[in-house]
Structures are given as structure tokens and as C-alpha cells.
Amino acid sequence: MPVHELAQLTWEDVRELDRGNTIAILPVGAIEAHGPHLPLETDVIIAVAMARAGAARLSQRGHSALVLPALTYTTAAFAAAFPGTISISTVTVTALVVDIARSLSQQGFRLLAIANAHLDPEHLTALTEAVQLGRADRLLPIVFPDLTRKPWGSRLGDEFKSGACHAGRFESSIVLAERPELVRESLRHSLAPNASSLSQAIKSGKRTFEEAGGARAYFGDPAAAAGGEGRQTIDVLGGILEEAVLAELKT
């Protein structure tokens, strides 16, 4: 089955789709600080890569998949002090995702899968609430594999599991694989590892990157990143999305 990108289709193309058997995939990221070496759109780059990889896997299984334009603005309170970060309210994020799901439901699509790459806790709460509200409103099913929860996070490598993974080896490798021209390579190689765990900081009540030990908005080891590793990680992310969608289709 083919993989389509909604933004590249005409309305007549969409009319001809077998929408009742088509899985819509929404990449979700943020515009926020990712160290001195990665672009503000890092999460968006990762989310789109995850969406396309998941769509390709689903297509190979005979499912029609449609990748939607990315949702690029969300709550990003942890990085709010860094210039360029754009943060909106959680209420707005939840309402936007529900409205997208409602529009897809009205057009007869089968399912909405969220390929999310932004791990701010308030953002994750907003997406979880969107899933619940969609269910309460009897919209099409919304699938959201939360990478911070089991079993998904355990598949993403030691740095990710440590929680020291914002703009570190994990994310830098993916951007090197997808958009290498956007990585400030001389800066990346000069950055010392930052072993401060962002996830542990969140659990202890910290609310900003600075409080968590990320004075330059990165955690982990950017210098250790490699494009080959990034491509492998994208495949894992695509597999996570595929598995979550297939589980929902079986219910």
C-alpha cells in the first residue's frame, strides 16, 4: 500500500482515498532550545522521521497510511528561558489535537496515530488528555505511544533510559541522519558530556533546564552522536509506532 503525505495531495486525491482503511499519522514536536548545536526544530525533525518510518512499516503490512503536516507548537516550559523557544498552553495543545481528530473522524478516517518526539511532562499530559477526550467524544481512535513509559522507552538505548537525552547522543544522532546540514558540527564535538538526568530532575520537582543542570539546554553526550546510529534509532521509533497502531487495530 502507498504512503501519502497529506500536504502534497489535492482535495480530490484525498476524496479518492479509502479513508475508512487509512491510518492518519500526526508528527508532534516543539520549537525549543536543543543545545548550542542543534536547531530549534529538532523534535519536529525526529517526529516526522518517526511518522514516515512507521507509515512505511504499516504500508508493508498492507495498511494505507497518511502522514499529516507536523504539529510544531506545544507547551515547552522547561526551555522557556532560552531565546527562540515557543511555548503555548496545554489546554491549547489538547484542544488542537482533539479538533484534528474530530476533523479526521468527520472525513471517515480509520485511526489517528501520534508520532511524538517532545517529552516535556506538561506536553505529555496534554496528549494523554486528548486521547481521553477523543474517546469520550466517540471520535476515531487516537493512538499515542508515550516514549517515557514501558515498554517503549526501554528500546531506545542507554542514554535515553538514563534520562540524560535532550540534545545528546540520542537526538543528535537522529538529526545527523535526517538533516546533517543543520548540525553545528564544530560546536557538537566541543561539548563535554552532561550526565545530569532530566527525567530524575523532573521527578524531584525541577521545572526548567537550568534547574535540572542544563545551562546550555543539552543533556547527554552530543559528541558521541553518529548518523548511522540515528538511522537505526529511527527504525526503532517506526517500529514502536507500528506496534502501537497494530495493537489498537486488534481491539
Read off the pTM: 0.97
Q: Which domains does the chain have, with CATH numbers?
A: 3-250 (3.40.50.10310)
* Segment 117-167, tens digit of pLDDT: 999 999 999 999 999 999 999 999 999 999 999 899 899 999 999 999 999
What pLDDT, in 10s, does the model give residues 52-62? 999 999 999 99
Residue 251: band (very low, low, confident or very high) from pLDDT cuts 50, 70, 90 = low
pLDDT digits (tens, 9 = 90+) for 66-106: 999 999 999 999 999 999 999 999 999 999 999 999 999 99
Cell numbers 504500508 label which residue? 59
pLDDT digits (tens, 9 = 90+) for 173-198: 999 999 999 999 999 999 999 999 99
d(CA 149, CA 142): 17
What gap in Å lies between CA 159 and CA 170, rounded to an integer? 7
Task: Give me the mean pLDDT over the 8-16 stretch.
Answer: 97
